[in-house]
Amino acid sequence: MSSYVGATASFKSALSELGEDPLSANYDSMVVGDDVQACEDELARDKAQIPGITTRNNYGKPYSAIASAVTNHLPQNLNIMYNHK
């Protein structure tokens, strides 16, 4: 399930980069879609049925596309203070 962990890490990375490097945030948000697909492929290959992960994958694809579209329209010199935990 390394691809599931990768998708989660890419979303977190995109969020942390949002205020400082929108281009990297955009890239990371697009990588999420690839990680979600890899996770689905792993589940199918292993004939694993894990409903919780399947549900999260179903959300991950559109969220990745939305995040990619939004970060693609951010100015590259965006200087915002974004405090997240």
pTM of the entire structure?
A: 0.78
Residue 17 has φ and ψ, to the nearest 5°, of -90, -10
Mean pLDDT over 26-47 rounds to 95
What per-residue confidence (pLDDT) applies to 81? 47
Q: 40-78 pLDDT, tens per residue?
A: 999 999 999 999 999 999 999 999 999 999 998 888 765
d(CA 71, CA 64): 10
Residue-range domain boundaries for the chain: 2-72
The CB-based long-range contact list for 39-45 (8 Å cut-off, 24+ gap) reads: 39/1, 39/3, 39/4, 39/7, 41/3, 42/1, 42/3
